[in-house]
Amino acid sequence: MDIKELKKTAADVRIGVIKALHNAGSGHPGGSLSISDVVTALYFNEMNVDPKNPDMKGRDKCVFSKGHAGPAQLSAMGIAGYFDMDDFTENLRKIGSKFQGHPNMKIPGIEMSTGSLGQGFSVAAGMAMAGKLNKDPGRVYAVLGDGELQEGLVWEAAMSASHYGLDNLVAIVDHNGLQIDGRNDDVMKVNPIGAKFEGFGWNVIEIDGHDMQQILDAFAKARECKGKPTVIVAETTKGKGVSFMEDQAGWHGKAPNDEQTQQAIEELEAAKAAL
């Protein structure tokens, strides 16, 4: 896809998130919307994957360590053709549905069940290590929240990934500055994120996480880096694309009502049409 097509697809990813969370009556819109541009770039440009053959040998793997933002991953996967999109938007978080509130390995294409913050990143590092040992050409992409960096095991994984030279591992930090209890700076400061990862021996790339060209360029630079893992610190806005959700901690884990859903979809459709 070209940049324009990727931007339109990112709008569709956001619309899918809003529809699914509205129908579910619960979930996490803020962090799902902030990471939608990055996840679109991953599934529609960067990763070597096949929705019709999700267990393909040598595939790239995406682990959503910030599992509460799983609706963004599922929305992108539905659009890509891993499963029926309507099944996702209508049955997320419903009893008996395979679409749980967080990533679930029962869904083909989901590499790891996540939700307990920090654990997904640790597993991703392990996957990258296994890939090195098995001479697997696939790369591993781990998506983290910035509040998630308050978890100690994130830094244990970061230390080991650097020690073992896992240049097949790319971490993406969704740096929207907010978490469930408010601003990161008020809860537990995580900045300077780039300097911390650099201190742990990582290649650091800092970008605007809503600029599609910067996202694509960052992934290209990560591929060029040899001998160390790469972290992409993506500066984002929580609730991106929906005016009343943007930069509001209250929309971390709350589903929109009927009126809010209609407004959100109208805004996203208008933005898409303007591209």
**pLDDT the model gives residue 204:** 98
Summarised one tens digit per residue, pLDDT across range 10-52 is: 999 999 999 999 999 999 999 999 999 999 999 999 999 999 9
C-alpha closest to that of 237 among 9, 32, 70, 66:
32
Exposure on the CB side of residue 36, measured as CA atoms within 13 A: 31
- Tell me the CATH class for 3-273: alpha beta
- Give the full edge-to-edge strand order of the sheet including 169-175: 61-64, 140-145, 169-175, 230-235, 203-208
**Weakly modelled stretches of the chain, pLDDT under 50:** none
Distance of CA 254 to the CA centre of its chain: 18
- Each domain of the chain, given as residue ranges in start order, spans 3-273
pLDDT of residue 234: 98
245 contacts 253 by C-beta, under 8 angstroms: no
Can you tell me which residue has the tokens 């650099």? 198
Query: Which residues, other chains included, contact 215 with Cβ-Cβ below 8 Å and sequence gap of 6+?
Result: 37, 38, 41, 207, 209, 232, 234
- Contacts for 182 with CB less than 8 Å, ≥ 6 apart: 249
Answer whether 20's CB lies under 8 Å from 71's CB.
Answer: yes
Q: What is the CA radius of gyration of the chain?
A: 17
- pTM over 0.95? The answer is yes
